[in-house]
Structure 1
Amino acid sequence: MITISEEIHRIVMSTPFLEEGLRSGIINLSSLARKILPEIKKSLEKNVTESAMIMALKRYSDGIRGRAQKGSFEVEILDLTVRSNLAEYTFAASENIIKKQEKLIHDVSHQSDKFLTFTRGIYEVTLIISEEFRKNVDEIFKGERKISSFSNLSAVILRLHPKTVSTPGVHYSILKQLAWSNINVIEVVSTYTEFTVIIDNARIDTAFSVLKNLMMR
């Protein structure tokens, strides 16, 4: 049998920023209880009182605040770097695309300040590169099925402490700050201690400021 607590958890997890609001203690529990009470009643198919909802919400919010106090979302950013004027391409994966990746790497290897990343999924390959090399990409990958392309992008590269690899919630904490500032993340790329977010050039100053504040905490 589904409990009130389980239903609260489902609603919180499916509602952006609601968990963060409860963790921060900035949400009025009585108002929230009244708002979600009809949905809880419908799901449980039984009568649930507002007071029972408030008590369940209080237990839930106390629980997530307790987890936060244990430092599960601590982010230690060692350095921030910005790279602008980037382009992103996504192609369908194919038998020949690895050779074309090698060709592109060879062609741009003489540029010390180049930006180039490849990410290969099961069905797609995405590359992010300095815009000055767009002509190279168009020529080398001619004949490949292009799924999407974006230009006028920037990257914020965060160098993280190695311990963050085993720290739950680190990437969530970074992306949350950007989302709260209404900054759309077009792509993310990560290595062992680097986490890179790709955004529109127009939002780079705001994004850097937001992440700099996170770094200084």
Structure 2
Amino acid sequence: MKTISNCVEDILISQPYLEEALARNIINYSALAVELTEPISKMLKKEVKPGAIMMALRRYNPPPTLGNTIKMKKVIQNLGDITVRSNLTDFTVKNSSTLIDNHAKILERINQEDKLFYTFTRGIHESNIIVSSSVSDFVKNHLKHEHFIAVQENLSAISINLPQDNSKIAGLYYHFFKRLAWEGVVLYEVLSTTNEFTILVEDEFVDKAFTAIKKVKS
């Protein structure tokens, strides 16, 4: 049987910003309890008093990864260089039997210039190619027989070098996404390798996104 505490936990887990504010003791328990009275009453299908909800809020124990643990602080302090690349174009195409062959021809062109930006991601149903806009016409020409799902120009990539063993730290990416969301930055794509994390944004967001990531690092 579901309890008030179960309902409080479900709501907080689904709203990480609210959960973090509660963990940092920067939220008014009484006001939040009143706000949650109606949704929790609906979840339990009976009337619930704010006082009972407030008690559940005070007893709630957030996951330890939400706090700024010593391990998390050390990882964030050891974040590497932040690199910005502009003038990028993103191609999303439907997977086909000819896509790999056409992609191989594009790679031959990419390999001729060391300074070109390039990434390729193959999903179950579609593939994504991000390249410097200087070769976008070349890419379009070699994919002209493919089915384009989306083409987006005027993009910038912000890459962050991550310290070793970052993949063993729970909640690391959460700090980036939280800050970017708070700053109102819309992410167009997210890419990562073992020790590198890259976000792709439209040019109008690049300054705000860079500042947001710098705040995480500092």
TM-score range, shorter chain: over 0.9
Q: CA deviation at 1:48?
A: 2.4
Identify which of 145, 155, 158 aligns with 1:156: 158
Identify which of 142, 145, 160 aligns with 2:144: 142
Q: What SS does the aligned partner of 1:110 have? A: coil
Q: Does the Cα contact within 8 Å between 1:23 and 1:64 map onto a contact in 2? A: no
The TM-score normalised by the length of structure 1 is: 0.92
Alignment of 1:126-205 (within 5 A): 126-205=128-207
For 1:53, the equivalent position in structure 2 comes to 53
Q: CA deviation at 1:211?
A: 1.0
Residue 12 in structure 1 maps to residue 12 in structure 2 = yes
Amino acid across the alignment from 2:143: F
How many percent of aligned residue pairs carry the same amino acid? Answer: 35
For 2:3, the equivalent position in structure 1 comes to 3
Rounded to whole Å, the distance in 2 between the matches of 1:23 and 1:97 is 49
Rounded to whole Å, the distance in 2 between the matches of 1:23 and 1:145 is 48
Q: CA deviation at 1:65?
A: 6.4
Q: What SS does the aligned partner of 1:48 have? A: coil
Q: What SS does the aligned partner of 2:20 have? A: helix
Q: How many residues align?
A: 215
Q: Does the Cα contact within 8 Å between 2:191 and 2:197 map onto a contact in 1? A: yes
For 2:208, the equivalent position in structure 1 comes to 206
Q: CA deviation at 1:72?
A: 7.0
For 2:127, the equivalent position in structure 1 comes to 125
Q: What SS does the aligned partner of 1:17 have? A: helix
The TM-score normalised by the length of structure 2 is: 0.92
38-47 vs 194-203, greater mean Cα deviation? 38-47
Q: For the aligned residues, what is the CA RMSD?
A: 1.8
Amino acid across the alignment from 1:41: S
Q: CA deviation at 1:23?
A: 2.4
Cα distance per residue 1:127-180 (max 9 Å; x no partner):
111011110111110111100111100000000012211111111111111110
Gaps of 5+ in 1: none
Rounded to whole Å, the distance in 2 between the matches of 1:46 and 1:199 is 45
Rounded to whole Å, the distance in 1 between the matches of 2:195 and 2:64 is 27
Q: Does the Cα contact within 8 Å between 1:23 and 1:65 map onto a contact in 2? A: no
**Aligned in 2, Cα 1:161/1:123: closer, same or farther, shift over 3 Å?**
same
Amino acid across the alignment from 1:17: Y
Q: What SS does the aligned partner of 2:197 have? A: strand
For 1:63, the equivalent position in structure 2 comes to 62
Amino acid across the alignment from 1:195: F
Rounded to whole Å, the distance in 1 between the matches of 2:161 and 2:72 is 16
